């Protein structure tokens, strides 16, 4: 069974080879989870007039992103269909242009959880306070808050998990030899 990292690498490689060469500047970022593959590529910034204001630059980037999305829609749909068939996941698209990042399409997937009364009360407070429309929105708000405020810590945790996977792969049971040996020992002792 492939690890999450191996699946991501295989998927990234497939997209790098399958996408038209002139679609993005360089290889795209590819993120994979159980439901979705998100492909984000960098596109060229527009040429600005000398002395362009920040508002003018922001409008130019917005226009470039919109133009890219419309111009590449059919090509992206064809690639997404192939990928969805091959990987069994929906494909979402996005771009980076300058300092701006934009997702065009992406899934909103329900996640089941069990909460105790104090946790439900917290969500209800967010709803009653007008921060969220529902408990579901309140929970999503909490996740975004953690993502924003604990991003560095989450990154360190992901790196630690990746390192654990690397160590496991180099362990004595990496080819299943220990399992075979245990089975042989069990059958000999019977």
Q: Where in the chain does DSSP place strands (E)?
A: 29-32, 36-42, 90-97, 100-103
CA distance 173 to 140: 40
Q: How far is CA 155 from CA 136, 160, 172, in A?
A: 25, 9, 28
User: Which residues, at least 6 apart from 110, have a Cβ–Cβ distance to it below 8 Å?
Assistant: 136
Per-domain residue ranges for the chain?
1-107, 110-174
Token reading at 164: 């654990």
Sorted by sequence, the CB contacts under 8 Å of residue 40 that are 6+ apart come out as: 28, 29, 31, 93, 94, 95, 96, 101, 103
Read off the tokens for 73: 């829609």
This prediction has a pTM of 0.69
Q: How far apart are CA 7 and CA 86, in angstroms?
A: 12
Per-residue pLDDT of the chain (190 residues; tens, 9 = 90+): 567 888 899 999 999 999 999 999 999 999 999 899 999 999 999 999 899 999 999 999 999 999 999 999 999 999 999 999 999 999 999 999 999 999 998 888 887 788 898 899 999 999 999 999 999 999 999 999 998 888 888 888 989 988 998 898 888 876 655 555 555 555 555 5
pLDDT at 180: 53
Reference 89, options 190, 183, 173, 4; nearest CA is: 4
Distance of CA 78 to the CA centre of its chain: 20
Task: Of 83, 74, 88, give the one whose Cα is nearest residue 17.
Answer: 83
The confidence score (pLDDT) of residue 139 equals 93
**CA 182 to the chain's CA centroid:** 39
């Amino acid at each position: 069974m492939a690890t999450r990292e191996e699946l991501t690498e295989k998927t990234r490689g497939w997209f790098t080879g399958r996408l038209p060469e002139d679609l993005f500047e360089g290889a795209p970022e590819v993120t994979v989870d159980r439901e979705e593959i998100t492909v984000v590529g960098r596109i060229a910034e527009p040429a600005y007039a000398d002395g362009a204001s920040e508002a003018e630059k922001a409008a130019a980037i917005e226009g470039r992103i919109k133009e890219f999305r419309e111009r590449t829609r059919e090509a992206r749909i064809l690639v997404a269909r192939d990928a969805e068939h091959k990987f069994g996941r929906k494909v979402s698209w996005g771009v980076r242009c300058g300092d701006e990042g934009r997702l065009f399409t992406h899934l909103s997937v329900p996640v089941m959880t069990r909460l105790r009364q104090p946790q439900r009360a917290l969500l209800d407070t967010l709803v009653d306070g007008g921060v969220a429309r529902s408990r579901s929105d309140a929970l999503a708000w909490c996740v975004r808050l953690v993502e924003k405020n604990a991003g560095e810590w989450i990154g360190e945790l992901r790196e630690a998990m990746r390192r654990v996977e690397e160590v496991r792969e180099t362990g004595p049971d990496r080819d299943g030899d220990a399992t075979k040996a245990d089975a042989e020992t069990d059958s000999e002792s019977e």
